[in-house]
Amino acid sequence: MPTYIIIGTSGIGGTLARHLAATGNGLHLISRNAERLPALATELGASHAVADVMQEGALEAAIAAAGPSIDGLAYCVGSINLKPLGRVSDAEALADFQLNALGAFRAVKAALPALKGSVQPTASVLLFSTVAVRQGFTSHASIAMAKGAVEGLTRTLAAELAPKIRVNAIAPSLTRTPLAASLTASEQTANAIAALHPLQRLGEPEDVAGLAALLLSPQAGWITGQVIGVDGGRSSLRGRG
Ligand SMILES: NC(=O)c1ccc[n+]([C@@H]2O[C@H](COP(=O)([O-])OP(=O)(O)OC[C@H]3O[C@@H](n4cnc5c(N)ncnc54)[C@H](OP(=O)(O)O)[C@@H]3O)[C@@H](O)[C@H]2O)c1
């Protein structure tokens, strides 16, 4: 059975881990929280490594602990730092870039020898963008800039690492996870944002994790270089009215 590394295991990454474990896959989980991560790893029969991806060398060591061969990697780490341009400091923009884009770049780089060691016909990398790259929103300068880099990285690595390694990204709209709690805690705000989606609701982690599991799996063996919206239609459709 394939073995996957999942980095970032609370919201979408945690649901993805449960999907993959339920279908008998091996898992190596990496996240920052030293209390929740071991409990999740024990529950799913996974190995794990606690690491803060912003710390020099920590991500690379955590990935190396997965062993010499893996079949896929999902980088599910991210941030939502929404402010008008004038209030975003250089340091905040740089931190968003480091966490979302450079972290993904470093993760794939560190995992490359193990991905090349996969005995599957193709190994797979899954990254995360946001609806706010394809569709412009106010107050999203920092995160849209960082995730735009992730989309460029996705297509570049898909070309560079073919035919052995497939690379895709998912671009969600607002999804009910701990990351989005500041936007979904108020039912009034959540309902107002939900109404902006043609499908008239916010995303749930399961909406995203199902596609994530498919893209990592051998069933998606002829899909690479794609950025796929899981966004209730928000990036591409005009709603009623
Ligand atoms: N939720 C949304 O509305 C939404 C929308 C668009 C895009 N996305 C993207 O979707 C992906 C998954 O997001 P999510 O909503 O599932 O987020 P989440 O629930 O907050 O999970 C993010 C994970 O990243 C980990 N993490 C954050 N900073 C870290 C660091 N410095 N070092 C190591 N781990 C770190 C967290 O670890 P701990 O829990 O261990 O602290 C957590 O497991 C992200 O790339 C996000 O940008 C989400």
82 lines ligand 1 (CB under 6 A): no
CA angle 106, 111, 116 (to 5 degrees): 135
Ligand 1 lined by 8 (C-beta under 6 Å): yes
Per-residue pLDDT of 86-108, as tens digits, reads 999 999 999 999 999 999 999 99
Question: Model confidence at 143, in pLDDT bands (50, 70, 90)?
Answer: very high
Q: Domain ranges in the chain?
A: 3-177+204-229
Q: How far apart are CA 148 and CA 133, in angstroms?
A: 6
**What pTM did the predictor assign?**
0.98
Average pLDDT over residues 9-15: 97
Distance 100 CA to ligand 1 centre (A): 9
- Does 241 score more than 60 pLDDT? no
Give Dmax over CA atoms of the chain in angstroms: 55
Our answer on whether the CB atom of 177 is closer than 6 Å to any ligand 1 atom is yes
CATH 3.40.50.720 matches 3-177+204-229? yes
- Residue pair 107/51 in contact (Cβ under 8 Å)? The answer is no
- Please, what is the Cα angle at 78 between 189 and 202, to 5 degrees? 30
Give the whole-number percent of the chain exceeding pLDDT 90: 98
Q: What is the pLDDT of residues 67-76, one digit of tens each?
A: 999 999 999 9
| Residue 14: burial class (beta carbons within 10 Å; 0-12, 13-18, 19+) | buried
Q: Would you state the pLDDT for residue 239?
A: 74
| Closest among 141, 136, 161, 130 to 224, alpha carbons compared | 161
